[in-house]
Chain A
Amino acid sequence: MRRKTLIATHGYLARGFKSSAEILAGMGESIIDINAYTDEEPGDYTPKIAAFIDGVAEDEEGLIFTDLAGGSVNQKVVCTLAERPGGVPANVFLVTDTNLMSLIALLLESRDLSADLIDELLGQTHATRVQLEGVLGACEDEDVFLD
């Protein structure tokens, strides 16, 4: 199914996500970015969110990423979805607390999206403390590798 993607954040994080997604996966250019509360986006950006949602046809999927669950950007998306005449479209999904891994994981997914599939894909994308001890070992043993 054709997928359309919007990223909306406080400041230029959305543009940064878009740039990183382009470098890593070649999938950044088609993303629409809303960089809220910046010089280029000083006013109400709700119409842009509504226009994006309206632009997702019934046989397409819409993915909206925001930066913070408690932030105003996410609130604006939630309100726009919830107050939409005709109800919340079943083919538009909202993800918040977005990080680069979660963005790429969903962009690269080739199966049709569902709530369950998105939950599964997001399961391993949380921020992680890097452990420097005890990392080595398995990568040297071909019997473990070939087992």
Chain B
Amino acid sequence: MISSIRIDDRLIHGQVALVWSKELGTKHIVVANDDAAVNDVTKMTLQMATPAGIKLLIKPVAESIKVFNDPRAKDLGMFVLTNNVHDALEIVKSCPGLVGSVNVANVGRFDESDPTLKTQLNPYIILNPRELADLRELVDQDVPVYSQVIPTNPKTSISSLLAEVGE
């Protein structure tokens, strides 16, 4: 099972390593990202950011999906990180019944796409048209989708944020 997928353009960083791993009580973090999986420097920094006592796996999205569906992963309560909506949607669609929730935390600010075409849902979620379309598809899946940067923030439903911008 995946207790939660977090979409965060910084993947593992201070908020995630210190705060979320504790909040979720997880011992297993998976970074599902095609670029990170082939970049040794990125892998090294992610490994360093992972707290002691927590196992980290870094895989391309397609390979991570195989791991999520592995019978050995059934009872793990994994915490999964992607850095974009598209990858999270792909995981949700390929792991039916295995994803507890999706947290759209920090996304789209650094994707270097045309800023004039982007839609801002809140200060932390600024999406290009393709990501926005994927987010609409994501909220239609049978999984709670919300935004919560740190645990002391309230959970904001993504459907309501989309409604506010007329989506």
Contact = CB atoms under 8 A, between A and B. Distances in A.
A135 B22 contact: no
A135 B14 CA distance: 19
- Which of the four size classes fits the interface of chain A? 20 to 34
Contacts of B151: 25-26
Contacts, number: 69
Given A108-B19, A132-B44, A139 B153 contact: no
B73 A25 contact: no
Interface stretch (B45-53, B121-129, B131-139): B45-53
Contacts of B18: 24-25, 101, 104-105, 108
Interface stretch (B56-64, B88-96, B111-119, B157-165): B56-64
Contact of A124 (B52, B63, B153): B52
B57 A139 contact: yes
Given A26-B153, A27-B152, A139 B47 contact: yes
Contact of B56 (A26, A130, A139): A139
Nearest to A137: B47
A145 B55 contact: yes
Given A136-B43, A136-B47, A145-B28, A25 B19 contact: yes
A145 B67 contact: yes
A101 B73 CA distance: 30
B24 interface: no
B70 A146 contact: yes
B73 A146 contact: yes
Contact of B70 (A25, A132, A136, A142): A142
A83 interface: no
Contacts of A79: none
B156 interface: no
Contacts of B15: 23-25
A127 interface: no
Interface of B: 14-15, 18-19, 22-23, 28, 30, 40, 43-44, 46-48, 52, 55-59, 63, 66-67, 70, 72-73, 76, 150-153
Given A25-B152, A104-B19, 16 more contacts: A23-B15, A24-B19, A25-B18, A25-B19, A104-B18, A105-B18, A108-B18, A108-B19, A108-B22, A135-B48, A136-B40, A139-B56, A139-B57, A142-B57, A144-B55, A145-B67
